[in-house]
């Protein structure tokens, strides 16, 4: 796949070279040749290239192509050194290629200088005077360099600031991820002066957790605050939905005269008051509010969450910790959480604060799923018919696979409701052991990748005793 990608990129570079020669050699007044077609969008490289500029390091790392004849002498930087008869679209396309390929592109034709192509900068929503800063920010990550980036330490805060200025939040997250994964900047990003500039998201939290041993003491509190901000943001986005779904599943036939916000039945209130929709003001004016019965019964269901903390499960560890903390805040549920690799760590007592839970996680290491399930069998399963077991793992078992299947069969026979989340994240197809997934599915344990919002719906249906098939089928489409 990489070989094919590199070949296609080389073809695009050949085309850019030919186009630049054509622009340079056409005499003034001669008929203009048709403009070159823009490359068709291709994910992930071209789509990023033609929309947000910061392309894959594969593009920026391509060595300069040796010209078929010596290039003409370089013109002074600025408009005078650029092809002066380009259309706006051609100039825009060449500027994008120049930024994508980096300074090495000027060896092909010095007239492809940033100064000469700066007239296209407004199309990128960039001040032409800042093109050099943009190119420097991209070069810092995507250009090939000898040695490491230790000497670049003072530039990191400036680079992070520039990236946030030039690009959207989504692109900042992409470039930041490239910096961490491809340039070995993990340790630099933990410095106190750089942490405040980072794009705060679940991926960053997973990175902090996986390399928390590298965080210096001076930056530890800042890192913890970043984790807390992300955790609280995710929790706020999910908590109301989780509460409504769980309480709705357990109290669907009861209402309450106790009119407090925490007992408000949002779904029923909206459904029953749709006639009160004010189209002009675009707001719903309810005629009557509906409330759940005040909770009197505790621990109607047991929820056991078993989380694989191998290196590939970073985001899953973050989301599962937050979801477990939300479940634990509901009196109707008795929630247990454990992390496992080749050992098992029961973190249930820490569920009051998911940040403490996350700093307990040790991402990386082997995987013994059987051992984790055995621990849950012995310590968490007291009322099988009222127990929901959520196993979060990619199923690459390093322990006893046959014994694992036997244990999962025992759980199914005892009426435990079990599901296996191959990943708990915002998207992407998880990599997992297909053979093991098929074995568990044959026992009645569905195995699927899951987003946090989908997990809320899954838990609700399981507690209602409903089949997951229609829900998962709809999500797959």
Note the pLDDT tens digit of each residue in 227-282. 999 999 999 999 999 999 998 888 654 554 456 666 677 888 888 888 888 888 88
**Tokens, residue 394:** 């990619």
Percent of the chain with pLDDT over 90: 37
Distances (CA, A) of 349 to 134, 278, 302, 325, 346: 48, 48, 15, 11, 8
166 in Cβ contact with 201 (< 8 Å): no
Cα–Cα distance, 414 to 430 (Å, whole number): 29
Cα–Cα distance, 229 to 245 (Å, whole number): 25
Q: Which of 47-61, 62-76, 97-111, 421-435 has the highest mean pLDDT?
A: 421-435
pTM over 0.95: no
Query: Residue 155 above 80 pLDDT?
Result: no
Cα–Cα distance, 336 to 269 (Å, whole number): 32
Cα–Cα distance, 56 to 453 (Å, whole number): 30
pLDDT score recorded for residue 297: 60
353 in Cβ contact with 224 (< 8 Å): no
Nearest to 448 by CA among 423, 470, 471: 423
Going by their DSSP bridges, the two strands 277-278 and 344-346 should be labelled as unpaired
DSSP letter for each residue of 28-94: TTSPPPPPPPPPPP-TTHHHHHHHHS---HHHHTPPPPPPSSPPPPPPPSSGGGS-TT--HHHHHHH
pLDDT digits (tens, 9 = 90+) for 174-187: 887 787 777 767 76
Cα–Cα distance, 351 to 336 (Å, whole number): 8
Helix locations, 329-421, DSSP H: 354-360, 369-379, 401-413
Q: 301-476 is classed in which CATH architecture?
A: 3-Layer(aba) Sandwich (3.40)
pLDDT score recorded for residue 340: 96
Burial 354-378 (b: 16+ CB within 10 A, else e): bbebbbebebeeebbbbbbbbbbbe
- Residue 167 three-state SS: coil
pLDDT digits (tens, 9 = 90+) for 271-322: 888 888 888 888 888 888 877 655 446 788 999 999 999 878 999 999 999 9
pLDDT digits (tens, 9 = 90+) for 47-81: 334 444 433 333 343 333 333 344 444 444 444 34
Query: Residue 39 above 70 pLDDT?
Result: no
User: E strands along 132-248, which residues?
Assistant: none
Q: Specify which residues 391 forms β-bridges with.
A: 306, 420
pLDDT digits (tens, 9 = 90+) for 309-321: 987 899 999 999 9
Share the mean pLDDT of the chain.
77
User: Where exactly are the structural domains of the chain?
Assistant: 2-26+33-138, 235-284, 301-476
Cα–Cα distance, 231 to 319 (Å, whole number): 9
Cα–Cα distance, 326 to 239 (Å, whole number): 6
- Residue recorded with tokens 């070159």: 36
Distances (CA, A) of 112 to 48, 72, 124, 179: 21, 12, 17, 27
| 29 prior amide bond cis, ω within 30 | no
């Amino acid at each position: 796949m990489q070989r094919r990608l590199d070949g296609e990129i080389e073809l695009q570079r050949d085309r850019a070279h030919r186009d630049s020669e054509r622009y340079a050699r056409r005499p003034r007044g001669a008929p203009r040749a048709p403009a070159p077609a823009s490359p068709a969008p291709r994910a992930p490289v071209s789509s990023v290239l033609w929309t947000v500029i910061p392309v894959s390091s594969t593009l920026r790392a391509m060595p300069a192509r040796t010209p078929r004849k010596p290039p003409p002498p370089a013109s002074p930087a600025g408009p005078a050194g650029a092809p002066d008869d380009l259309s706006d679209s051609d100039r825009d396309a060449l500027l994008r290629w120049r930024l994508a390929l980096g300074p090495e592109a000027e060896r092909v034709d010095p007239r492809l200088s940033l100064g000469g192509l700066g007239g296209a900068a407004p199309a990128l929503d960039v001040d032409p005077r800042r093109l050099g800063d943009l190119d420097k920010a991209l070069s810092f990550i995507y250009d090939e360099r000898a040695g490491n980036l230790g000497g670049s330490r003072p530039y990191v805060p400036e680079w992070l600031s520039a990236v946030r200025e030039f690009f959207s939040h989504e692109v900042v997250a992409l470039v930041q991820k490239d910096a961490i994964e491809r340039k070995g900047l993990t340790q630099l990003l933990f410095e106190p002066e750089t942490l405040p500039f980072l794009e705060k998201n679940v991926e960053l939290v997973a990175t902090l957790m996986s390399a928390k041993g590298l965080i210096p003491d001076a930056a530890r509190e800042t890192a913890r605050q970043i984790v807390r901000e992300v955790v609280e943001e995710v929790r706020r986005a999910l908590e109301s939905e989780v509460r409504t779904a769980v309480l709705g599943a357990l109290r669907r036939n009861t209402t309450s005269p106790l009119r407090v916000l925490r007992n408000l039945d949002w779904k029923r209130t909206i459904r029953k008051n749709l006639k009160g929709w004010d189209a002009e003001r675009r707001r719903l004016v309810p005629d009557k509010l509906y409330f759940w019965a005040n909770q009197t019964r505790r621990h109607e269901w047991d929820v056991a969450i078993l989380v694989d903390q191998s290196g590939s499960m970073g985001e899953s560890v973050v989301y599962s910790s937050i979801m477990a903390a939300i479940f634990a805040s509901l009196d109707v549920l008795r929630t247990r959480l454990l992390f496992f690799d080749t050992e098992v760590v029961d973190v249930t007592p820490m569920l009051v604060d998911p940040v403490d839970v996350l700093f307990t996680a040790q991402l990386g290491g082997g995987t013994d799923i059987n051992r984790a399930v055995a621990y849950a069998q012995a310590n968490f399963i007291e009322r099988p018919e009222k127990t929901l077991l959520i196993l979060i793992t990619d199923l690459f078992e390093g322990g006893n696979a046959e014994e694992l299947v036997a244990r999962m069969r025992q759980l199914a026979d005892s009426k435990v409701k079990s599901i296996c989340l191959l990943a708990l994240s915002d998207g992407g197809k998880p990599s997992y052991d297909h053979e093991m997934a098929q074995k568990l599915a044959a026992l009645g344990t569905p195995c699927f990748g899951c987003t946090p919002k989908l997990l809320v719906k899954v838990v609700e249906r399981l507690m209602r005793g409903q089949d997951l098939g229609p829900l998962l089928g709809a999500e797959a489409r």
